[in-house]
Structure 1
Amino acid sequence: MQDAMEDFFRALRAADVKVSPAEAIDAHRTVATVGFSDRELFKDALCATLAKTADEVVRFDDVFDTFFARDALTPAQPPPDHGDGDPMDGLPPEAAESELTRMIMQGDATGLAQAMEEAAERAQVSQIRLTTQRSRMSRRLLEEMGLAEIEAIISAARRLEGGGDAADRLEAGKRRLAAEATRYVERQHDLYASGSGRMLREELLARKALNAEGGIDPVDQAMMQALVRKMAKRLADRYSRRRNRARKGHMDIRKTLRKSMPYGGMPFEILWKTEKIDKPSIVCICDVSKSVAAAAQFLLSFLYSLNEVVDRLEAYAFSGRLISVNDILDDEHVDQAIFQVLRKIGFQQTDYGKSLEDFCENHLDHVDRHTTVIFLGDGRSNYADPRMDLMATIHKRARSVIWLNPEPESYWSQGDSVMHRYERFCHVAKTCNTLGQLERIIEDVLRTYVPH
């Protein structure tokens, strides 16, 4: 049963139910306590041990029901008028030595199910990883059960006089057995390979260009939004822990002496100096012109999904003029809010200088030494004054200035781009046109606030 439990843990991990080695040990102890006789008790005990959130409970239930499903096989049954005769009648002598043939002809569903489980273990069906492996795994499973032997017996029976009926019944049983093997492999695929396929798809989407010509397909758009939320949750889980860092090697003498007073002044407990790490305060300024709107949508989705670890988020958007979009984002889901922003100020002639002027006149007080300012834009200002003086002012006031540009660096000094000039007033300026790059940059921002 230990091997089965380990396979069950792998299936849970494939379904995004995190099972650590310590939790696996706890699960084994739980099973040893409650046993296997009561299915509901067994399921509830494992769920209480392994599922940590409401979403994980739902996924746990699905995996448990699929993993421990034991559907009865329905092989070919002897004909109703067979009477009390031997169902093996009509088959060649070598059929008597084939246990699989006897189970098929007698309709032994329980025996066939057990034989399929044993053959699946030998064929390593649980190692399936890709959808394209299903046919090969089904064939391998049948071969381990003795498919070649069954086919030889059918062929020999058809050569016998009067063996056609028995051969037909064995052939029908073989077809049903093949169908059951296919269903079994599909169930194993759902348990172990669906997660691999999803992860492969997510890896591809994480590398998909956000500013791709022709835009993003609606199906990919929905999947990428879900991926953004998953990335944000991963970062939130990582950086939402306690924000006090022990400075080992720097003893807090005052606190240590106070703690030692009940022990007659003996310092049994050493207390270390700590420093308080604040949550990030972020000001996000996004170009929502046509060429950058998709990247802006995903950046804002990412930041708004980090509400657990971001102390304050001020969001602004511009193309010709700059406006605050906090109210729109608060009232609407970020997916829909971007379209409202575009209707309000989008599709105007981009003017970075005028947008910086609007920001400094109306919102500069939101920037201080605790604030990270994130710009998202291609730096193309249509040959208007880029107002480097205002960019220098923001640089002086902010904790850090990060510029994310969807275009490659080789474009930063071409045409109407002034990105190479803005870059001087940025602590970090990077190309960012995929979700993977966006995740790494946002993590770098969080890492500057939260120590390791």
Structure 2
Amino acid sequence: MERQITSFIRALRASDVRVSTGEAIDATRAVSVAGYSDRAFLKDALRCTLAKSPEEAVTFDELFDAYFAPRSLNSSSQDQDNQNSEQSDASSEIDPVDLMESGDEAAIASALERAANAVDADDIRFSTQIAYYAQQMVREMGGERIQERLMQAFQQRSEEGDTEAERLIDLRRDLTMRARERVQRSYDIFGKGETEQFRNEFAENKKLSAIELSDMARMKVLVARIAKRLAVKHSRRRRKKNRGQLDVRRTMRANAGVDGVPFNVVWRQKRREKPKIVVICDVSGSVARYVRFLLLLLWSMKDVVPDLHAFAFSNKLVDVDDILEKNKFEDAMDQILRVAGMGSTDYGEAWTNLKSGHEQLIDRRTTIIVLGDGRSNHGNPRTDLFRSFAARAKRTIWLNPEPQPAWGTGDSEIPRYRPYCSSMSQVSTLKDLERAVDDVLSAYA
């Protein structure tokens, strides 16, 4: 029983359902009470202990129906272990032809299960491995003996031999298809989730400049997960603990009315600032693709960063808060690119527009995030204005899509802006954007 539950929990974890060690122990105890006789009751008992959200409940239901097939609940784990131990030595002596011709579905299913366990079919990770594991199962069940009899039938060179060969071919095809179905079930339970995780990890580390239209649906899901992960991390309230520097004045005042009985100690607590972010995005050329993901990530975290202001420019700076608030994100990005993305890049003009119309947004609580390559077509970069913004702000973060060897080459003004930035880093993947936003929000902890 414990092995079945442990294996099922492994399948849940592979499908991105979080199950802690304590929850796994609770699930084992729940099954010991519920038993396997009532499938609906077993499902409810496990769902209560393992699924913690509506999304996880959906995944749980799909995996439960696939893993706990009605046939597997007809006997207990102990009966299955006894059956396996008794038949494991004899499995090699079973003639696969006699087994398949017997029509005994229970015996065939048991033989398939033993073969699947022998070749570790539950370790499958990718759909491309289905054929391999199926072949290994057929071999484990005596496929070579079928092949030998098939060769003997061909060598007879007679009508009876041809009939026997056709019969053996059909039998081997049937056995192979059953083995594939069994491996497909293992893949649906154990491999599909791990494959999805592998694809997600690959997408998170794929260069954003190489993202294709077919990848956008997956990328939106990944951005939403990252936003949720960061929101949970940075929205936790810090618990007050009796540690830090003693506040003598407040301690004396707190105990004056009771003559120090009891004596209450007051510690100085560092006040946590609320995040305030001003993000300024260069939407010219190839940089626009990176802007799409940064704004999507930040706008997915509005609950954590309600004081968020976004600007876009190629030369003239445009306030895009209203566009993002009033439109669906994809429509908003198309509109932003039309309004702010048409023109020759001019960082100097963008800083001038920020100075004249929006400088009041920048204060000691503000983190300025600049996303751009710093290429200003040899115009005046107005580093004097950028220096003044950085001096007013809490931090100034510059995210550059270009690799560092390209900084300062051609019309790049990055070396002139770099001294006034708290940090300047390359962002080329979704993981890079996550680290950058995490670093910004961590500064307010």
TM-score, structure 1 as length reference: 0.84
Partner Cα distance (1:366, 1:52) in 2 = 41
1:206 aligns with 2:201: no
Deviation at 1:445, TM superposition (A): 1.4
2:223 to 219, 228, 241: 228
- The residue aligned with 1:411 is 406
Which whole-Å CA distance do the structure 2 matches of 1:101 and 1:70 have between them?
Answer: 27
Q: Deviations over 1:167-207 (max 9, x none)?
A: 75565343212101101112211222223322332233223
Cα pair 1:246 1:275 within 8 Å, conserved: no
SS of the aligned residue for 2:16 comes to: coil
Distance 1:167 1:350 in 2: 75
Equivalent position of 1:20 in the other structure: 20
- Equivalent position of 1:114 in the other structure: 110
Structure 1 counterpart of 2:131? 135
What CA deviation, in whole Å up to 9, does each residue of 1:233-279 have, x standing for no partner?
222232222234536355678789989x99x9567x98865434234
For 1:5, the equivalent position in structure 2 comes to 5
| Residue identity matched to 1:353 | G
Q: Secondary structure at the match of 1:369?
A: coil
> Aligned letter for 2:355?
C
From the superposition, tell whether residues 3 and 156 of structure 1 become closer, same or farther in structure 2 (CA, over 3 Å): farther
Aligned residue for 1:59, secondary structure, equals helix
CA contact (8 A) 2:97 2:171 kept: no
Distance 1:40 1:274 in 2: 52
Is 200-209 or 137-146 further displaced after alignment?
200-209
The Cα of 1:291 is off from its aligned counterpart by 2.1
Distance 1:249 1:316, change over 3 A: closer
Name whichever of 248-257 and 176-185 sits farther off: 248-257
Counterpart Cα distance in 1 of 2:220 and 2:441: 21
Q: Note the C-alpha offset of 1:221.
A: 2.7
Change (3 A) 1:416 1:167: closer
User: Quick one: which of 120, 125, 129 aligns to 1:124?
Assistant: 120
Q: Is the 8 Å Cα contact of residues 283 and 372 (structure 1) preserved in structure 2? A: yes
CA displacement at 1:426 relative to structure 2? 0.5
Partner residue of 1:291 out of 263, 271, 286: 286
In structure 2, the residue matched to 1:40 is 40
- Return the offset for 1:26: 1.1
Note the alpha carbon deviations across 1:37-65, whole angstroms, 9 max, x for none: 11111112211211111111111111112
* 1:324 matched to 2:319: yes
> Which residue of 182, 189, 192 corresponds with 1:191?
189
> Does the 8 A contact of 1:239 with 1:309 survive in 2?
yes
Q: Please give the alpha-carbon distance, in whole angstroms, between the structure 2 residues aligned to 1:51 and 1:137.
A: 31
**Per-residue deviation, 1:101:** 4.2
Equivalent residues of 1:379, 1:418 under 8 A apart = yes
Does residue 1:241 correspond to 2:236, yes or no?
yes
What is the Cα deviation at residue 27 of structure 1? Answer: 0.9
For 2:410 and 2:162, how far apart are their aligned partners in 1?
82
2:87 is matched with: none
Residue aligning to 1:87: none
Q: Which runs of 5+ in 2 are unaligned?
A: 73-90
Post-superposition Cα deviations, 1:319-368, rounded to whole Å, max 9, x if no partner, equal: 12111111111122323311111111212111111111111222222222
Residues of 1 paired with 2:169 and 2:284: CA distance?
Answer: 66
> In structure 2, what is the equivalent of residue 347 of structure 1?
342
Structure 2: how far apart are the matches of 1:305 and 1:165?
A: 67
Residue 383 of structure 1 is matched in structure 2 by 378
441-450 vs 322-331, which deviates more?
Answer: 441-450
Partners of 1:314 and 1:243 lie apart in 2 by 26
* CA shift for structure 1 position 287: 0.7
CA distance in 2, matches of 1:245, 1:414: 50
Matched with 1:435 is: 430
Q: Equivalent residue for 1:76?
A: none
The equivalences for 1:78-117 within 5 A come to: 98=94, 100-117=96-113
Alpha-carbon separation, structure 2, partners of 1:265 and 1:151: 92
Amino acid at match of 1:125: A
SS of equivalent residue, structure 1 residue 275: coil
Q: RMSD across aligned C-alpha pairs, in angstroms? A: 3.2
Change (3 A) 1:311 1:275: farther
Matched, 1:49 2:49: yes
Q: Which amino acid in structure 1 is aligned with residue 221 of structure 2?
A: A
Q: 2:143 aligns to what?
A: 147
For the 8 Å contact 1:402–1:428, the answer to whether it is kept is: yes
For residues 135-160 of structure 1, the C-alpha deviation after alignment (integer angstroms, 9 at most, x for no partner) is 22111122223323444456668879
In the superposition, relative to structure 1, how do residues 164 and 110 fare at CA in structure 2: closer, same or farther (>3 Å)?
A: farther
Secondary structure at 1:140 match in 2: helix
CA distance in 2, matches of 1:60, 1:196: 15
How far the C-alpha of 1:282 sits from its partner, in A, is 1.1
Q: 1:273 to 1:43 in 2, by over 3 A?
A: farther
